[in-house]
A and B are shown apart, each in its own frame.
Chain A
């Protein structure tokens, strides 16, 4: 059985057939994706399903991973923060280190391709060190909100862009003017991955018991890296505002380590300090492969929070909606594309706002359930991997045939 056949159960036979028909137009193309880690974070999760599915659709796709030192990842974490607008102070030697690691990797990685997708800033200078005839097209895929970046970081990264034929951002609000076309492709989830597939009631209960969570009491959940932009302290504050009204309420903050995120440990310590001795408040540091545990937690929550103050697309929101949970989301980034007031949850601007909306949803059970169903339907239509693949193929076809008007292929 082919991998894609399994998705027929979710999106239907004809949707998969359409994907084959569209991909036929790109058959045999050699496509390489490059990022900086195989584990942890949304990009690695996307590439894990995208590569085999592209291969099955007749595209010669592969995945290359940058190798760096701890110092390199410290610098690229600063790039990440800087792109999201946090002031960072990097020295010339930091930029030189990044440049040099890109040079080394360009020699090591297999980058012979018709199209190379470079994900995020870590490998952005690879084209600089790759022979011109080796790659047909370079495309930079920026998963981060780059609309208001730190000036120094942007100047350094922008200098790499003339080598690229196009860029991809998750939404228009994440872009800033660059010289090449800026395509818009939101990310997506894999509905059959361990994190999103249906699980048995027995497994769900076993997971809760193992993680010391009471399955009979209502539980709020935020799943995210321990990162200040995810505002875990604000989530705790919202929970504490609710606790007097719902004494049985539990809060779970679940996060995992990412190989390229050295700040995580520091934020985790702050969260643990802030959580104190409350037995109903669990801070879980889960391994990066604990996908089924995350799945069980999301299915067990009555409401899922993603109270970020800056956010990329927010795939944890997509995952929660897919499990039929209304989401209380910070009004930023891709969360605003997914959380629609009174339809799939509520956008909030403060811990008080989060507490208020959760109280509302706990009062009106029927509304909570209806919003959950809306969320599931919404993700099925717009944020599954089939749509994501279709967008990539459409973009490449559009670049292949640059006539100005509508295109029939």
Chain B
């Protein structure tokens, strides 16, 4: 049976300030308890779309803020380890974050504050995805497409795909598993620990993996 071509999607964020910021750990806890889901999604899941340099200590905004602005390395490390892609819902993520921050706050004699100018400005975002019109017929064509695709497309087909599939898979491997000769490649793609890579690094890692599997057939 012929395999349907891969549909290439691109995306962009509509970002909104919610008019609220945090200047100490208690305010952060209160915010995590009460902000809309779109705020947690933005600060925990969509950071890769904003990042550029390979300089970030942590893969999410909350951990970074605790490290850089509050000067709390213990909490930063704990928040850095919270993997939102392992949570099945934003409610679950929220609960994990509350538990982590509350636990840290519980043992503190003094509430950590940031200096003026280093507040965490809370942002909500909405992902707008659109069909690029490109259809990829073969694994070989997919290799060529990934090489030139935007980092935003990469985000949609890897990070967003994980959310759509309950953390199971990215779109590339989901499509490639229909080809008998791509099993190793599929396994390799699913093993990439993408949460700790910026999009440029992830792009390179996927290309390297494709390179190792240059046998990918041109027909199904």
Taking Cβ atoms with an 8 Å cutoff, the residues of A that contact B are: 12, 14-15, 17-18, 21-22, 25, 169, 171-173, 175-178, 181-185, 331, 340, 343, 374, 377-378, 381-382, 390-391, 393-395, 397-398, 404-409
Whether B14 contacts A395 by the Cβ 8 Å rule is yes
Q: Roughly how many angstroms separate A14 CA and B151 CA in the complex, as a whole number?
A: 12
Whether B128 contacts A407 by the Cβ 8 Å rule is yes
Report the 10 A-B pairs with minimum CB-CB distance, sorted nearest first: A177-B19, A172-B121, A398-B14, A184-B15, A394-B12, A172-B17, A406-B127, A182-B17, A175-B17, A408-B129
Residue B106 CB within 8 A of the other chain: no
Q: Cβ of A374: which chain B residues have Cβ within 8 Å of it?
A: 53
Q: Cβ of A391: which chain B residues have Cβ within 8 Å of it?
A: 12, 14
Residue B149 CB within 8 A of the other chain: yes
Residue B148 CB within 8 A of the other chain: yes
Closest B residue to A14 by CB, please name it: B148
Residue B33 CB within 8 A of the other chain: no
Whether A14 contacts B150 by the Cβ 8 Å rule is yes
Count chain B residues whose beta carbon lies closer than 8 angstroms to a beta carbon of A. 34
Closest A residue to B55 by CB, please name it: A343
Q: Cβ of A377: which chain B residues have Cβ within 8 Å of it?
A: 52
Q: Cβ of A394: which chain B residues have Cβ within 8 Å of it?
A: 12-14, 128
Q: How far is the CB of A394 from chain B (nearest CB, A)?
A: 4
Q: How far is the CB of A398 from chain B (nearest CB, A)?
A: 4
The B125-177 residues at the A interface (CB cut-off 8 A) are 126-133, 148-151, 160
Residue B10 CB within 8 A of the other chain: yes
Whether A409 contacts B129 by the Cβ 8 Å rule is yes
Whether A406 contacts B16 by the Cβ 8 Å rule is no
Whether A398 contacts B55 by the Cβ 8 Å rule is no
Residue B44 CB within 8 A of the other chain: no
Closest A residue to B131 by CB, please name it: A21
Q: Roughly how many angstroms separate A394 CA and B49 CA in the complex, as a whole number?
A: 15
The majority secondary structure among interface residues of chain B is strand
Q: How far is the CB of A371 from chain B (nearest CB, A)?
A: 11
Residue B117 CB within 8 A of the other chain: yes
Q: Roughly how many angstroms separate A22 CA and B13 CA in the complex, as a whole number?
A: 13
Q: Cβ of B119: which chain A residues have Cβ within 8 Å of it?
A: 173
- Known: A381-B52, A382-B52. Is A183-B126 also a contact (CB below 8 A)? no
Q: Cβ of A408: which chain B residues have Cβ within 8 Å of it?
A: 9, 128-131
The B1-60 residues at the A interface (CB cut-off 8 A) are 9-10, 12-21, 38, 52-53, 55
Whether B148 contacts A406 by the Cβ 8 Å rule is no
Whether B132 contacts A21 by the Cβ 8 Å rule is yes
Whether B150 contacts A18 by the Cβ 8 Å rule is yes
Residue B123 CB within 8 A of the other chain: yes
Whether A397 contacts B150 by the Cβ 8 Å rule is no
Whether B128 contacts A409 by the Cβ 8 Å rule is yes
The B85-133 residues at the A interface (CB cut-off 8 A) are 117, 119, 121-123, 126-133
Q: Cβ of A175: which chain B residues have Cβ within 8 Å of it?
A: 17, 19, 121
Q: Roughly how many angstroms separate A378 CA and B198 CA in the complex, as a whole number?
A: 14
Q: Cβ of A406: which chain B residues have Cβ within 8 Å of it?
A: 126-129, 160
Q: Roughly how many angstroms separate A407 CA and B12 CA in the complex, as a whole number?
A: 10
Q: Cβ of A171: which chain B residues have Cβ within 8 Å of it?
A: 121
Q: Cβ of A173: which chain B residues have Cβ within 8 Å of it?
A: 119, 121
Q: Roughly how many angstroms separate A15 CA and B148 CA in the complex, as a whole number?
A: 10
Whether B52 contacts A178 by the Cβ 8 Å rule is no
Whether B126 contacts A21 by the Cβ 8 Å rule is no
Whether B16 contacts A18 by the Cβ 8 Å rule is no
Q: How far is the CB of A330 from chain B (nearest CB, A)?
A: 12
Whether A340 contacts B55 by the Cβ 8 Å rule is yes
Q: Roughly how many angstroms separate A12 CA and B148 CA in the complex, as a whole number?
A: 9
Q: Roughly how many angstroms separate A25 CA and B17 CA in the complex, as a whole number?
A: 25
Closest B residue to A397 by CB, please name it: B128
25 pairs, A vs B, C-beta closer than 8 Å: A14-B149, A18-B132, A18-B150, A21-B131, A21-B132, A172-B17, A172-B122, A172-B123, A175-B19, A176-B19, A182-B16, A183-B16, A184-B15, A340-B55, A343-B55, A390-B12, A391-B12, A393-B12, A397-B14, A398-B126, A404-B38, A405-B126, A406-B128, A407-B127, A408-B129
Q: Cβ of B13: which chain A residues have Cβ within 8 Å of it?
A: 394
Q: How far is the CB of A285 from chain B (nearest CB, A)?
A: 33
Q: How far is the CB of B60 from chain A (nearest CB, A)?
A: 16
Q: Roughly how many angstroms separate A395 CA and B19 CA in the complex, as a whole number?
A: 18
Q: Cβ of A390: which chain B residues have Cβ within 8 Å of it?
A: 12
With contacts A25-B130, A182-B17, A406-B128 known, what are 18 further pairs, Cβ within 8 A? A12-B148, A173-B121, A182-B16, A184-B16, A184-B17, A331-B117, A340-B53, A343-B55, A377-B52, A391-B12, A391-B14, A393-B12, A397-B14, A398-B126, A405-B126, A406-B126, A406-B127, A408-B131
- With most chain B CB atoms within 10 A of its CB, the pick from A177, A184, A343 is A184
Q: Cβ of B117: which chain A residues have Cβ within 8 Å of it?
A: 331
Whether B130 contacts A409 by the Cβ 8 Å rule is yes
Q: Cβ of B9: which chain A residues have Cβ within 8 Å of it?
A: 408
Closest A residue to B129 by CB, please name it: A408
- Known: A22-B12, A182-B17. Is A407-B129 also a contact (CB below 8 A)? yes
Q: How far is the CB of A174 from chain B (nearest CB, A)?
A: 8
